[in-house]
Structure 1
């Protein structure tokens, strides 16, 4: 036990350790004003200070009229002790650096109209360069020159960022909150349905309206096959289908948000005022909620590429979408849960780990579809990075992930906002099992909610393990690879230990014609209306 604790502590220390990235900050000032700009350097070649206070300050000299492949036309007295800005091109980075170094310069900035890439050179050239070297955007230098004029002072530094970013904690809270609330909602709805069915057939139809149940293994297989086909189509026809998915998401998320808010209003006991127009009755509360939900969805649709703040709306709509999906789609028994989750685990692993061997850019189909055409930028070769030198038109991305910006990657966010992401499927798929466990607790009248709480705990452990492996390996993980075994095995063990595996495996008595479901109440237990709340 003590050894396991030590290993865990070491893992936490490793994850919390700092990393040096290739993005850095150029701080320019003139005594009265200052501004920060994105630069890209090679930390293993010409390391920079980690803090602004420790960074050397040098006068910044404009030499963008030359590429500095040789010293012709440049006076050593003019550049000695200064940071030089020259244009990219005509010769290697190391050659420019050696020329600047020979002239007595203290640092070299290379202005680029092309993408900023991590500076590199032949192995024999690395030891020859002893001054800081970095690339900056040409347009940034022109903007700085216009803002500061003459007398610019430059400092270059590369603040490290923590591997264990607070955004991961926020993502963890979003995931567990959504799964728990979805399970609670399903359990409460099942209690209402049972109460309605025991009180009379009239209320059962209302409780079941809008709910779909997966009860056939064949239908599950067909569903997974359709998901595979859709993913492949998205990969090959992304630029066309992405707009269709965006429209569908706006409609579905607005509907889901309405359902969630309406349920909250009912829970709070908020009444509603109805009025009639031409023999049609309208609810004032429903109209107001519908207007709010449609407005939120439209705002997201219009500003979906504003990375700095739109992620808040996307996550809000995503939570509502996942909750409504878990409420609407129900798995009729544990057998269906095992088949569906197992197939989707294979689906996730195949499209994340196997497909990179078949794609041209070496990026998995899952990542390419989830992150859009720019996904190749997420794949780095060693420690190499590539940042656009000019403003790029925003690329459309599928609204299929929760996004939270990294809070400690200051230099990286200056070069382009970075996000921690979690796919909706990593919440919905295990969430369907959690919802089934919650309903099963209702069917057996379990006041301790043993199945629901056990499955939620397993999901929490699984998602923590997923993030831990991601941080330790430095690459994205198919979360279902960890979530599915944790949740399925835990649920099966609980059912086995309680001697209820047969009931748990078979679930409800399901009739295809009328989709009626009956509670599985053990002998000796009351079948009176259940009033316990989640």
Structure 2
């Protein structure tokens, strides 16, 4: 199909993709930002996520997630060291006054409100409780801290807060069962998860494939142009590669692109809902069908050359090859199946396939013409990433990009414009993710570097592609190191990727004396076949 007709879909999806970042999507971001709740003696625990595993009449049942308090004894990290204790309801329920009975080693469940958290814990401990579960009056988790005027705190039992719906489920268990017991522990996340390794490989391999396809197409176009110049005394008006139009980004459009992405990000933040996510799923499927079809046709045309070069006229769509007609139903079916089942656990496979195809196709269609445009684009994206991850908290009281990427306001797992792999060895589960923008934007520069190398006939070592590719891979690696050092807190990948990728390119260009050509023309000077042909004719006339 005519890719120019749907280029706006791809560009829209690229804009949407900028809202994503590499992160580990786990049970909330509540355990971070410790500085907002200062520590003091007796109230100096780190905020940690806590698993609350339940048993009904000795049979393992539902598991809930809570947050440990600043005060009390720390929660054990290993499941085998955690005790199974009987669960009971506090009486009175708010645990703000002396209980009517002794708890004798039970875990007591109390309601939030009426008095301080520390008061509830002290009263429960005095009555013999082994731990206290405080049920929030909202569906969200909450940080239990000590009041500024509280001193000499010495609470010797762990305290955990659970969301309102978890409390309702636990109360229902207690009412309908003869015995309910719980186990509290806070497992630590692994330093490195295999999901991050595969995600790194996926991002690097995607740029690698897209760059070689883009460079091969550019070289074929250059060869075709040379033939046309030899055969005719005119230069083609359109710049076409394999029937698909190339879109060159200008300096102005690079700036406007990031402005548009910011506007769309705020719109996503303000109007995020279930139906908004479903609309994005539809858009993603439209772009995914076109992209998957483009990639499959390009790949299969090597083996089915006749079908790829034989065309049939279809109303509205124009001339379409038989190979495209054969591939199109498969692509539509694949995208529809993914859309129907995109909430199931294994849907990430289909999402990654459509996403990789989309990224490769965009890098094939959209080009940066020179290093000047590449520098403006990546510099704006660099500032964009930092602002919407970190500085947006000052205006919106939360990180806009993190909220949108996680889909906090939609009841969904987040927007589909990202690559994701489940964290297989993380006790908290979740996904490692990377946004399309963190692959696409550096990919535009890396693909440009390989096109330049091939047109300049540079070897792999003497060219720029190898070093740009290495710089991107290293920058993404540093991103994941920072991500783990920050205990899974979302990091703006371009904060690390842009300085390495762009800095390497600019430094090498300056050192090798190619910076002026790279900055302005973006391609090496080639002898014009038309001039050579005219010169040969003049020599023949002289003879």
- Report the TM-score when normalising by structure 1: 0.75
Q: What does the per-residue CA deviation read over 1:352-404, in whole Å, with 9 as the maximum and x for residues that have no partner?
A: 34333222x2x244334434454xxxxxxxxxxxxxxxxxx724843333333
Shift of residue 409 of structure 1?
3.9
Closer/same/farther in 2, CA of residues 277 and 487 from structure 1, 3 Å limit:
closer
Matches of 1:246 and 1:429, distance apart in 2: 22
Closer/same/farther in 2, CA of residues 170 and 495 from structure 1, 3 Å limit:
same
Closer/same/farther in 2, CA of residues 373 and 104 from structure 1, 3 Å limit:
closer
Task: Indicate conservation of the 8 Å contact 2:69/2:160, yes or no.
Answer: no
Aligned match of 2:217:
189
Matches within 5 A, 1:27-176: 27-29=53-55, 33-42=59-68, 44-45=70-71, 46-63=73-90, 66-74=93-101, 76=102, 79-112=103-136, 114-115=138-139, 116-122=141-147, 124=150, 127-136=153-162, 137-142=166-171, 144-145=173-174, 149-176=177-204
Q: Please state if 1:345 is matched with 2:345.
A: no
Gaps of 5+ in 2: 1-44, 533-543
Aligned match of 1:394:
411
Matches of 1:176 and 1:295, distance apart in 2: 28
Q: Please state if 1:321 is matched with 2:346.
A: no
Matches of 2:393 and 2:54, distance apart in 1: 42
Task: Indicate conservation of the 8 Å contact 1:211/1:330, yes or no.
Answer: no
Task: Indicate conservation of the 8 Å contact 2:92/2:99, yes or no.
Answer: no
Task: Indicate conservation of the 8 Å contact 2:52/2:66, yes or no.
Answer: no
Aligned match of 1:467:
480
Shift of residue 184 of structure 1?
1.3
Shift of residue 437 of structure 1?
0.8
Matches of 1:48 and 1:215, distance apart in 2: 54
Closer/same/farther in 2, CA of residues 459 and 278 from structure 1, 3 Å limit:
closer
SS in 2 for 1:478: coil
Matches of 2:486 and 2:260, distance apart in 1: 31
Shift of residue 482 of structure 1?
2.6
Shift of residue 166 of structure 1?
3.2
Aligned match of 1:7:
none
Match of 2:300 among 265, 283, 289: 265
SS in 2 for 1:448: coil
Matches of 1:28 and 1:278, distance apart in 2: 62
Shift of residue 327 of structure 1?
0.7
Q: Name the Cα RMSD after superposition.
A: 3.7
Matches of 2:84 and 2:400, distance apart in 1: 46
Aligned match of 2:288:
253
Matches of 2:113 and 2:278, distance apart in 1: 39
Matches of 2:349 and 2:300, distance apart in 1: 22
Gaps of 5+ in 1: 1-18, 375-392, 510-518, 528-534
Q: Please state if 1:301 is matched with 2:329.
A: no
Closer/same/farther in 2, CA of residues 162 and 142 from structure 1, 3 Å limit:
same
Matches of 1:373 and 1:58, distance apart in 2: 33
Matches of 1:24 and 1:452, distance apart in 2: 46
Closer/same/farther in 2, CA of residues 456 and 93 from structure 1, 3 Å limit:
same
Aligned match of 2:241:
207
Aligned match of 1:458:
471
Shift of residue 30 of structure 1?
5.7
SS in 1 for 2:420: strand
Shift of residue 298 of structure 1?
2.5
Shift of residue 329 of structure 1?
0.3
Task: Indicate conservation of the 8 Å contact 1:113/1:138, yes or no.
Answer: no
Q: What does the per-residue CA deviation read over 1:211-231, in whole Å, with 9 as the maximum and x for residues that have no partner?
A: 333264334344444334444
Shift of residue 424 of structure 1?
1.3
Shift of residue 328 of structure 1?
0.5
Closer/same/farther in 2, CA of residues 311 and 125 from structure 1, 3 Å limit:
farther
Shift of residue 183 of structure 1?
0.8
Matches of 1:41 and 1:228, distance apart in 2: 33
Shift of residue 429 of structure 1?
0.8
Q: Please state if 1:227 is matched with 2:298.
A: no
Matches of 1:289 and 1:328, distance apart in 2: 20
Shift of residue 125 of structure 1?
6.9
Q: Please state if 1:291 is matched with 2:329.
A: yes
Please say which of residues 199-208 and 420-429 is displaced more in the overlay.
199-208
Shift of residue 156 of structure 1?
1.6
SS in 2 for 1:37: strand
Task: Indicate conservation of the 8 Å contact 1:258/1:289, yes or no.
Answer: yes
Task: Indicate conservation of the 8 Å contact 1:256/1:320, yes or no.
Answer: yes
SS in 2 for 1:66: coil
Matches of 2:290 and 2:313, distance apart in 1: 24
Closer/same/farther in 2, CA of residues 214 and 126 from structure 1, 3 Å limit:
farther
- Report the TM-score when normalising by structure 2: 0.74
Matches of 2:494 and 2:263, distance apart in 1: 19
Matches of 2:312 and 2:500, distance apart in 1: 52
Shift of residue 241 of structure 1?
6.4
